[in-house]
């Protein structure tokens, strides 16, 4: 069964027993992801990865296929996030209350949020959700100042200045690698979040995934798969072009690509490092990251 995320950011958990009482603001409906993340201490955030709790997230209106339901949880595959873990998309578990149905036509105009965050109002201009960058919804009516959209909670309104429009068939124009970098810059100092794909917090590959998606470039969700989907290029800095992805591996990781960042030009990289750091720009030359740089790859633009 196809369903759609009806919270501003839905977290995809490794299993139904991975969510804790301290995560209640992130798993309830309606969710309060900002309060959830602000109340977690460092140890609790580190547990997301150290205890294999979460893998990814989905945005409001994002489509999933429900494989099974048990004890108030849905086992889903995230159809808009390619992954080798499942042929249809990234798998995991999400509270069933955070999913809803939506009448979506394949061939219809859509909007994609281009601001870091924007407010979704109901038709009486009461706040429904605070949406993340890259949230995509079908258009029902264009106004002068607001666009009416269809959502899993019924019709809503978004400030027209905060979105970009697809064509009438739902296809967004291809952007540029410079556009990838410009969009990435607006998230400098946003705290890192393991599994994060939203402007409430990104992990390294989620950040690259969403910045590429903002320009209508589709790559897989995870770092090692991103590399596999692109063209390998020499790791000498002179060969890099803005928008290339740089992949890193620590000596003890035996070549596993555990980190990825976006090359900006002039020896600089923007990336989401790790908990408890924030998105930052770093100079590669003679840096720690230069020492563990393992691969570089470029997306073929057709």
Please tell me which residue in 75, 78, 208, 259 is annotated as part of the active site. Answer: 259
State the CB neighbour count (10 A cutoff) for residue 116.
15
The question of whether 271 is a catalytic residue gets the answer yes
Please tell me which residue in 75, 271, 274, 290 is annotated as part of the active site. Answer: 271
Secondary structure, 3-state, 27-52: HCCCCCHHHHHHHCCHHHHHHHHHCC
Both tokens of residue 62? Answer: 């994002």
DSSP codes of every residue in 186-224:
TTTTPBB-TT-EETTEE-HHHHHHHHHHHTT----SSHH
Phi, psi (degrees; rounded to nearest 5) at 184: -65, -35
The question of whether 274 is a catalytic residue gets the answer no
Phi, psi (degrees; rounded to nearest 5) at 291: -70, -30
Please tell me which residue in 204, 208, 274, 290 is annotated as part of the active site. Answer: 204
Cβ neighbours of residue 125 under 8 Å, at least 6 residues apart? 157
Q: Which residues are catalytic?
A: 204, 259, 271
């Amino acid at each position: 069964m196809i369903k759609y995320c009806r919270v501003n950011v839905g977290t995809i958990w490794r299993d139904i027993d991975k969510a804790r009482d301290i995560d209640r603001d992130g798993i309830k409906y309606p969710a309060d992801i900002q309060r959830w993340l602000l109340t977690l201490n460092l140890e609790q955030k580190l547990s997301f990865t150290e205890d294999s709790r979460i893998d990814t997230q989905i945005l409001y209106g994002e489509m999933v296929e429900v494989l099974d339901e048990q004890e108030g949880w849905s086992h889903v595959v995230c159809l808009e996030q390619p992954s080798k873990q499942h042929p249809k998309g990234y798998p995991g578990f999400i509270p069933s209350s955070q999913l809803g149905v939506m009448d979506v036509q394949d061939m219809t105009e859509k909007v994609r949020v281009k601001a870091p965050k924007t407010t979704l109002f109901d038709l009486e201009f009461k706040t429904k959700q605070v949406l993340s960058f890259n949230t995509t919804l079908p258009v029902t009516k264009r106004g002068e100042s607001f666009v009416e959209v269809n959502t899993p909670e019924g019709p809503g309104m978004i400030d027209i200045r905060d979105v970009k429009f697809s064509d009438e068939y739902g296809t967004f124009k291809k952007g540029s690698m410079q556009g990838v970098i410009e969009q990435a810059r607006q998230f400098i100092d946003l705290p890192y979040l393991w599994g994060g794909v939203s402007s409430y917090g990104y992990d390294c590959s989620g950040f690259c995934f969403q910045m590429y998606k903002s320009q209508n470039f589709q790559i897989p969700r995870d770092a090692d798969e991103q590399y596999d989907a692109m063209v390998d290029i020499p790791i000498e800095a002179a060969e890099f072009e803005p928008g290339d992805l740089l992949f890193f591996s620590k000596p003890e990781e035996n070549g596993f690509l555990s980190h990825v960042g976006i090359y900006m030009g002039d020896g600089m990289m923007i990336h989401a490092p790790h908990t408890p750091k924030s998105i930052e720009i770093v100079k590669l030359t003679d840096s720690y990251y230069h020492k563990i740089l393992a691969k570089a790859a470029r997306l073929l633009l057709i």
